[in-house]
Amino acid sequence: MSLSTLYLRLRYPRHTFGPGFTGPWRLRIRGRGRVSFGRDVRVRNASGQTALLTFGADARIEIGDRVEIDGAGLMSASAIVVGDDAILGPCLLVDTDFHAVGRERRRGGESVTRRPIRIGRNAWIQGKSTILKGVSVGEGAVVRWGALVAGDVPAGAVVMGNPAVPVAQP
């Protein structure tokens, strides 16, 4: 076990780090929610600082086995689940708007919409991509550089653009 991994385990005792986890000293985990990493997860900050943020005690971020993360920002108010063998580049995953959307946004106390995000096994989310609330990215799918994903991505598909559209199907 590397010194940085030992440091992270001591710094964040209420989060779960699976066997074989490796991560940088400057990994940011903030919030009252829970973060769990599976086996052999590798986190790096080569493309930017990786940050895992939870908003509320019930929020959770679950990272599967053998996932690679480099410079990603995961912001969860409900749940973000990343499947085994996925790759997250310097992207953003956010499961809430943090405020009401539409005309009701001007009224105080309006409820905020939260919907979980699911990233399938072996999916690849490339840099500058944004995955919005309620999106499921299917197994083996690729979200290309800079895509804005507001709807589900089928298994094996390749999507790109703003808004993201399929450019290759399985």
CATH number of the domain within which 162 lies = 2.160.10.10
Task: Indicate the pTM of the whole model.
Answer: 0.91
Domain count, the chain: 1
> In which domain, by residue range, is 154 found?
3-168
Residues 16 and 4: their CA atoms lie apart, in Å, by 15
> What does the pLDDT look like over 50-65, one tens digit per residue?
999 999 999 999 999 9
From 26, 30, 32, 99, the catalytic residue? 99
Q: What is the DSSP string of 7-44?
A: HHHHH-TTSEE-TT-B--TT-EEESSSEEEE-TT-EEE
- Catalytic, 99? Answer yes
Tokens standing for residue 168 = 């290759």
| pLDDT, the chain, mean | 92
> What does the pLDDT look like over 68-126, one tens digit per residue?
999 999 999 999 999 999 999 999 999 986 655 666 656 666 666 778 999 999 999 99
